[in-house]
Structure 1
Amino acid sequence: MKSLFAKFGIGQVVKHRSYAFRGLIYDVDPEFDNTEEWWLSIPEDVRPRKDQPFYHLLAENAESEYIAYVSEQNLMLDDSDEPLRNPMIEQMFVRDEAGAYRALPVLTH
């Protein structure tokens, strides 16, 4: 079994290499874990490999906020320090004085 390591972690802000959106990572899959239909919907010439980490993002572009699922090869760190506006972020994260996003504690019973 191939061992994979994620380049990015939960709470990091990233941006897409080709498309104008950025987002906050809230989960990571060590390799592709979505439907075959979703994967095939990506144009073949830009379709990512499945054998790499994929990231769940609380994403946003100039027009809207949404959830995105993006391959590691298509992401890079966003070092702009601009706060994100996705309203789902405040349900899962807090932004500290230094501008970093920290996951809120999970309560279980």
Structure 2
Amino acid sequence: MSNDQIFYPAARFAIGEVVRHRMLDFRGVVFDVDPEFANSEEWYEAIPEEIRPAKEQPFYHLLAENSESSYIAYVSQQNLLPDEENGEVDHPAIDGLFDGFAKGRYRLRPQHRH
């Protein structure tokens, strides 16, 4: 094993889990996970340096909502917490990806492959 090998933390949240942002006022449902940062450098550099997260951690794609709108968010693991509301997320894309909500989580819709 080489000394320059990097070990990334395991994902804490699973697809279908509802999470809340640690600092910003929004919540969302996880629909994809990147084991490390996989967005553009431009996106990353746009985050103020004093709150910019490390790239070497899982990043989550969320169907997100706040009090004004629904949108897609890309958030580092360090900035997410489990959602305490245990309620559904109001996002128009949920029905296309998930098949029901129970016990605080969404069930991923089965994919049909031909």
- Fold shared per TM-score above 0.5: yes
Give the TM-score of the pair, scaled to structure 2: 0.90
The number of equivalent residue pairs is 109
Following TM superposition, by how much is the alpha carbon of 1:96 offset from its aligned partner in structure 2, in angstroms?
Answer: 3.8
Match for residue 22 of structure 1 among 24, 27, 30: 27
Contact 2:86 2:103 in 1 (8 A): no
Following TM superposition, by how much is the alpha carbon of 1:4 offset from its aligned partner in structure 2, in angstroms?
Answer: 3.3
Give the TM-score of the pair, scaled to structure 1: 0.94
1:82 and 2:87 aligned: yes
Following TM superposition, by how much is the alpha carbon of 1:58 offset from its aligned partner in structure 2, in angstroms?
Answer: 0.3
Q: Which runs of 5 or more structure 1 residues have no equivalent in the other structure? A: none
Find the aligned partners of 1:97 and 1:54 in 2 and give their Cα distance.
24
Identity %: 52
Q: Which residue of 2 aligns with 1:32?
A: 37
Which runs of 4 or more aligned residues in structure 1 lie more than 6 Å from their structure 2 counterparts after TM superposition?
Answer: none
Greater Rg by CA: 2
**Over the residues paired in the alignment, what is the CA RMSD in angstroms?**
1.2
